[in-house]
Structure 1
Amino acid sequence: IQSDQQDRLEQSKCDGAEKEASLDKISADVSNSIIHFNVGGKKLSTSRKILTMIEDTLLSTIISDEWNKRLVKDIDGAFFLDYDPVLFKHLINQLRYWSLNPLATRVFSLPIENKNEFISLVRSLKFDERYLTDTFSENVNSNVKVIDNQRLCVKTSEDQHLAYVAGNLLYFEGKHFIKLMLTLTNMQIGFIGIRPANLPIEIKSIKNSFPIPYTFGIDNKCLVMNGTCTSYFSAWQTFTPKNTFLIELDCDSRTMHITRDQYAQFNYHHFTQIRFIDLTLAPFPWQLFIVLKDKNDYVRILL
């Protein structure tokens, strides 16, 4: 009798293990099931696992039962999405890369062409802003050089020649954070802030034309509002060779905070300074705008 009970117990354990393995297989099959799309007339297929790897996006909810009934399907039963197929494929390929490389930094790289359209696609699919980081535009004047995947800008011209660079991202809604590291030869900045992206960059001279019209931010000694120096401050006139700045843009309240973290070597003291800037007069969309003052100064966008 004891032997029969032991046999039944062992059989029960085996049945339970098989059932659990079967459920795991079903779960794996569901997560890896293939989803077929018709994106702007082009067919694209990917796994459910890729679509759901980032939570709370439209991609992660688009294949739910509720959306399944609402989405239009083509004659082959593929979900129709009215997006640019090249940009959508670029996005899916990066999700695939993140899936294969769990330690990779999850920040979308911008395509060579149609950068702003890709950014709009990412935002329309409800990806959090942390998956986007600004880069420097390569459409700059000849006095700077943009390198390192467009995250580093170096002034290459002589000291008195104006050198500016703009960001690629356009800001027009929500809250955004941009972290910068500035390395300064003579410990003086040219300008840090934003400008309306749709307005031309008006520079009367390539030498010491500060501030530049339509800019909002800080230069080496004053607060700049719409290209005009509105108030002076002495605390920021002496910069260390390396400076970290955090720009907080709030498009909804039309405000900007620029926070500077600095370590003073002469007294081993760390301190933080914050400047508030009203952007009511700055028309959307905005873009990052930096002016480097001295040769070999450089600015890096930090992740």
Structure 2
Amino acid sequence: MTSSPAHKINDKIENKNVVISNDNSPKSSLSLSKVETKIMSRFCISIEDDPIILLNIGGIHMSTRRSTLMCIPNTVLALACTNSWSEKITHDNDGRLFFDCDPNLFQYLLNQLREWSIKRNKVFELPKNEYDQQRFRSLCYQFNFHRDLIDGIHRHEIFNKICPHILLDENSTVAIHAGDYRYGECRGINVYSSGIHRIILILNHDSMDKYNIFIGIIWSATPMQERSFESPTAYGWAGGKLVYLRGIPSSVLGYGGYDSDLCTNDTIELTLNCQLSLISLFNHRTKKFYQIPIDTREGCPFPWQVHINLYETDDRVKIINPT
């Protein structure tokens, strides 16, 4: 019986598939070997090269590679894997390293350490729950992780965009109001879309104690303007207990407990938490802490920029960068 055209086409397709699948040429084998090696290499590390560490975390058994615990030096977890401390640290009856802490929080920490080498922003993601955030911080401090990894990277920042009557000094780390009594915007050079970032500022004025200034953020694409704090993408703190949300003073005077405690020579820590979409202000002198949640859809989308607005003649703000 003569095959139909459809059968002939199917035969050709089947034969073609067979030929492709049975291509055992050296070139094909070599190419396949490279692909497989790339895929499988991370799962073929010998125990001798990177031992598996058995853990007992608050009664819950876990295990991970030694390299995971040692990826951040000088922490309790890293030191526990060194010859100096591996025998001295507490073990359970089965020989597992024992840490008496919350297993869920430790697992949250461990999962991030496993991905540490590929993380672009070297900071821990905090739990969403505020109560767990504080407990996670405490756990990280207990294990001697540096504060920058928990509460954000201390960023190198300089002022870049400024209004005409704002002058820059000291390699653009100092912004000075050089005009009459009028508002003047200045912004940092960096843009922020992910991670947690801390910027240290020092306020200064030769003849005033109370400091009338706006400190906050703004969407990087917002045009420069004198009264920049009134921009619909502006969030931050100003004088008179005013807190600006989307360029409008909050209807609650002293929003979030803010009492305009900014004085000359104060050291201010501005934290941009892109992970949780919020900014915070900490006054080192008064030890007061303020926080503003950011609406990234209707208010200030990413990327953000550090946003300062000066008013008084000779107002100065200095960025303190890490050495």
Corresponding residue number in structure 1 for 2:319: 301
Please tell me whether residue 154 in structure 1 is matched to residue 176 in structure 2.
Answer: yes
Corresponding residue number in structure 2 for 1:214: 233
Q: Distance in 2 between matches of 1:288 and 1:239?
A: 17
Please tell me whether residue 133 in structure 1 is matched to residue 156 in structure 2.
Answer: yes
> 1:132: Cα distance to partner?
4.5
User: Do the aligned partners of 1:211 and 1:219 also contact (CA within 8 Å) in 2?
Assistant: no
Please tell me whether residue 144 in structure 1 is matched to residue 166 in structure 2.
Answer: yes
Pair 146,256 (structure 1): closer, same or farther in 2 beyond 3 Å: same
User: Do the aligned partners of 2:173 and 2:319 also contact (CA within 8 Å) in 1?
Assistant: yes
Aligned partner of 1:180 among 197, 201, 211: 201
User: Do the aligned partners of 1:256 and 1:276 also contact (CA within 8 Å) in 2?
Assistant: yes
Please tell me whether residue 164 in structure 1 is matched to residue 185 in structure 2.
Answer: yes
Letter of the aligned partner of 1:277 in structure 2?
Answer: I
Please tell me whether residue 226 in structure 1 is matched to residue 246 in structure 2.
Answer: yes
Q: Distance in 1 between matches of 2:305 and 2:165?
A: 20
Pair 260,228 (structure 1): closer, same or farther in 2 beyond 3 Å: same
TM-score by length of 2: 0.47
> 1:162: Cα distance to partner?
1.3
Corresponding residue number in structure 2 for 1:38: none
Q: Distance in 2 between matches of 1:168 and 1:196?
A: 12
Q: Distance in 2 between matches of 1:302 and 1:188?
A: 18
What SS does the aligned partner of 2:287 have?
strand
Letter of the aligned partner of 1:226 in structure 2?
Answer: R
Q: Distance in 1 between matches of 2:228 and 2:156?
A: 29
Corresponding residue number in structure 2 for 1:189: 212
Q: Distance in 2 between matches of 1:126 and 1:241?
A: 37
> 1:238: Cα distance to partner?
5.4
Pair 235,275 (structure 1): closer, same or farther in 2 beyond 3 Å: closer
User: Do the aligned partners of 2:154 and 2:197 also contact (CA within 8 Å) in 1?
Assistant: no
Pair 194,241 (structure 1): closer, same or farther in 2 beyond 3 Å: same
Aligned partner of 1:287 among 262, 287, 305: 305
Q: Distance in 1 between matches of 2:155 and 2:283?
A: 22
Q: Distance in 1 between matches of 2:304 and 2:319?
A: 17
Q: Which structure carries more strand by proportion?
A: 1
User: Do the aligned partners of 1:247 and 1:259 also contact (CA within 8 Å) in 2?
Assistant: yes
Q: Deviations over 1:132-185 (max 9, x none)?
A: 511100x31111111111111111011x21111000000000111111101134
Q: Distance in 2 between matches of 1:131 and 1:226?
A: 26
Percent of matched pairs sharing the same residue: 20
Letter of the aligned partner of 1:217 in structure 2?
Answer: G
What SS does the aligned partner of 1:242 have?
coil
Q: Deviations over 1:182-210 (max 9, x none)?
A: 11343222200000001223x4xx5x776
Letter of the aligned partner of 1:167 in structure 2?
Answer: G
Q: Deviations over 1:41-90 (max 9, x none)?
A: xxxxxxxxxxxxxxxxxxxxxxxxx8xx9xxxxxxxxxxxxxxxxxxxxx
Pair 282,242 (structure 1): closer, same or farther in 2 beyond 3 Å: same
User: Do the aligned partners of 1:214 and 1:282 also contact (CA within 8 Å) in 2?
Assistant: yes
Letter of the aligned partner of 1:214 in structure 2?
Answer: T
Corresponding residue number in structure 1 for 2:264: 241
Please show how residues 250-289 of structure 1 align to structure 2 within 5 Å: 250-262=273-285, 271-280=286-295, 281-289=299-307
Q: Distance in 1 between matches of 2:312 and 2:188?
A: 20
Letter of the aligned partner of 2:184 in structure 1?
Answer: A
Pair 161,279 (structure 1): closer, same or farther in 2 beyond 3 Å: same
User: Do the aligned partners of 1:188 and 1:293 also contact (CA within 8 Å) in 2?
Assistant: no
What SS does the aligned partner of 1:165 have?
strand
Pair 134,210 (structure 1): closer, same or farther in 2 beyond 3 Å: closer
Letter of the aligned partner of 1:292 in structure 2?
Answer: L
Instruction: Give the ranges of 4+ consecutive aligned residues of structure 1 lying more than 6 Å apart after TM superposition.
Output: none
> 1:235: Cα distance to partner?
6.2
Q: Which has the larger radius of gyration?
A: 2
Pair 274,125 (structure 1): closer, same or farther in 2 beyond 3 Å: closer
Q: Distance in 2 between matches of 1:249 and 1:174?
A: 8
> 1:131: Cα distance to partner?
7.8
Q: Distance in 1 between matches of 2:237 and 2:246?
A: 11
User: Do the aligned partners of 2:280 and 2:290 also contact (CA within 8 Å) in 1?
Assistant: yes
Q: Deviations over 1:213-259 (max 9, x none)?
A: 42101011211111011132296345432111111111111011111
Q: Distance in 2 between matches of 1:130 and 1:209?
A: 26
Q: Distance in 1 between matches of 2:214 and 2:174?
A: 16
Please tell me whether residue 199 in structure 1 is matched to residue 218 in structure 2.
Answer: no
